Amino acid sequence: MTDFVGAGRYAPSPSGDLHFGNLRTAVLAWLFARTTGRAFYLRVEDIDTGRSSAESAAQQIADLADLGLDWDGEVLYQSQRFEDYAAALVKLPHYECYCSRKEIAEASQAPHSIPGHYPGTCRDLTEDERMFKRAELIGQGRVPALRLRAGVAKWQIHDYYAGEVVGEVDDMVLRRGGSQPDWAYNLAVVVDDAYQGVDQVVRGDDLLSSAPRQAYLAHLLQLPVPEYVHVPLVMNAAGQRLSKRDGAEVTLRSMRPQEMFPRIAASLSYGAETSQELLKQFRPERLSREPFVLK
């Protein structure tokens, strides 16, 4: 591994089979890493204990190998990294949040609020108010969420395709609350990318808005910010983002790997039967910036 300069990664959530869009993004992440002399890591993002399963993770790993993708070192599991997330948490300014999902949704719809962003309802509660709300949650068998006390409203990142991007930053969740608290994706991904030496993050366009928030967290933790490469999504025939709801016909189990890979290569405008063939042909500047519609 000492010959590698930096690293890329692919990090699926094990909550079901990887569909065509997931696999296409995995291939792109692998291509970007291998064509730039980087290591390529596979990380299982199984922090969502309510949705993740070991069976799903095993199937996803097998599917990626069947496609001809290889990776360096052992597969990293986020479920084994909770101590590192806790260590990062204590370095960040944060506070308890007692709001329900319904309350957050209603508050984010108020005039002048940013849709989907937390409006800071619990940010400046008095200690008496906190004690009351905390006791109320405990009585329900729940714990409060922990949110970042953000010091900025916006943060700028550079993306390989999108260029300079300024995104909104709010008091994002660092650890979820409720009856079964889990570590939040934004914190875990920042900590793990730094831990693995990942300096190139290739993922779908739908996550571009998350990049400024994650880069801001990295800044607060004094961790390096990776190069971001957000690639177009795969859409279904109705023009909607491909998802697991589109059915088994878009997963690797619905066809042989030797059938799936040429379809992925064709969606990238290449004619290749295997991953090694595509690696020789791949040019990142040729990638269409338009979503690919799977028909």
The packing angle between helices 185-196 and 211-220, to 10°, is: 60
Beta strands in 154-291, from DSSP E residues, in sequence order: 154-159, 163-168, 173-175, 200-204, 227-231, 234-235
Q: What are φ and ψ of residue 195, in 5° steps? A: -60, -40
Judged on CB neighbours under 10 Å (0-12, 13-18, 19+), 22 is buried
Q: Exposure pattern of 255-281 as b/e (b: 16+ CB <10 Å)?
A: eebeebbbebbebbebebeebebbeee
What distances in angstroms separate CA 83 from CA 68, 80, 148, 190, one per listed residue?
33, 8, 18, 14
**Token reading at 99:** 């709001």
**Token reading at 67:** 């496609």
**Token reading at 204:** 């779908």
Q: Which residues are annotated as a binding site?
A: 9-13, 45, 97, 99, 118, 122, 185, 203, 244
Residue labelled with tokens 């360096």: 72
> d(Cα 62, Cα 52) in Å, to the nearest integer?
16
**Token reading at 197:** 């030496």
Q: Is 149 within 8 Å of 210 (Cβ atoms)?
A: no
Paired sense of beta strands 145-148 and 173-175, if any: antiparallel
Q: Which residues are annotated as a binding site for L-glutamate?
A: 9-13, 45, 185, 203
Residue labelled with tokens 């010959």: 3
Cα Rg, the chain, nearest whole Å: 20
The partner residues of 7 in beta bridges, in order of sequence, read 39
Q: Which residues are annotated as a binding site for Zn(2+)?
A: 97, 99, 118, 122
Q: Which residues are annotated as a binding site for ATP?
A: 244
